[in-house]
Amino acid sequence: MFTPREKADLIKREAKRSGFLACGIAHAEFLEEEAPRLERWLRDGKHGTMGYMANHFDLRLDPRKLVPGAKSVISLAYNYFTEPKQVDPEAPKLSTYAYGRDYHKVVKQRLKPLVAFIQEQFGDVEFRTFVDSAPLMEKAWAQRSGIGWMGKHTNVIRQGTGSFFFLCEIILDLELEPDAPATDHCGTCRRCIDACPTDAITPYGVDGSKCISYLTIELKDMIPDEFTGRMEGWAFGCDICQQVCPWNRFSTPHSEPEFMPKSELMGLSADDWHGMTEVVFDRLFEGSAVKRTKYAGLKRNVRFLREDP
């Protein structure tokens, strides 16, 4: 029989072999500290038009409601830092995470061998895997499991790594030795706060209704005029708060073939973006997270950028 520590060590070694950047473990329990913060964030309307954020409040705070009998939450990080950049500096910009294939699909596939290993080693285990796909406060679990701390921009930062990674989770009814929670290393730095062009960031909080990622992806209506001239060229998502973070000087390129951007996409000029047809959109972004905003949404974003003074 394996001890909880031996089980945890085996899973972490296998996670590393499976290509994950980091793996940490937390005890499955109610997120007592996060509950009032989430309630206040929702009450203040900082979720904008994302009505789904107000749904399943109890599920977001207790993983045992997602997996009855759950004892552990395994948090994993998967690197997506990409060195290639868009060629034309005047072209509308994509967030780095959207350069390649949709991360939901890729990371879900990378989880399968790890789950198979757990079942092979420990028998009949009840579990569910999550890749940004359920009402789960993944950043809180990443911090509790020692993956990294939630920075002032609310992205999870890992010492020696930075923040360009996806999070995913396995909730299971297996008793595993938990890791120590990550400690905060933002210090007095406020570069992300000062660099945000829409003033969406306050220390350890983001007003989602002002965030460029929200405006270009989640918002289905027209982008409010108050953001004219403040989008900094972003057409899908935004990386500004990560780009200015000192910890990202430690970021290293990923080794995931599915995340490699198409050379045609990276070579698009500003005119190419503004003249993009739906046929070209479908071809360039097949299997991409950009499909989430649809052709009409991307054209809306690009038109809004052209109207910037």
For residues 231 and 227, what is the distance between their CA atoms, to the nearest angstrom? 7
What is the pLDDT at residue 50?
83
- pLDDT beneath 50: ranges in the chain: 309
**Cβ proximity of 248 and 163 under 8 Å:** yes
Which residues, 6 or more positions from 124, have their beta carbon under 8 angstroms from its beta carbon? none
pLDDT in tens, 292-307: 999 999 999 999 998 7
pLDDT in tens, 224-279: 999 999 999 999 999 999 999 999 999 999 999 999 999 999 999 999 999 999 99
Listed in sequence order, the DSSP H helices in 74-223 are 103-122, 138-144, 191-195, 212-213
pTM, two decimals, is 0.95
Catalytic residue among 132, 179, 221, 225: 132
In this structure, the number of other CB atoms found within 10 A of the CB of residue 227 comes to: 15
Q: Could you confirm whether 173 is annotated as catalytic?
A: no
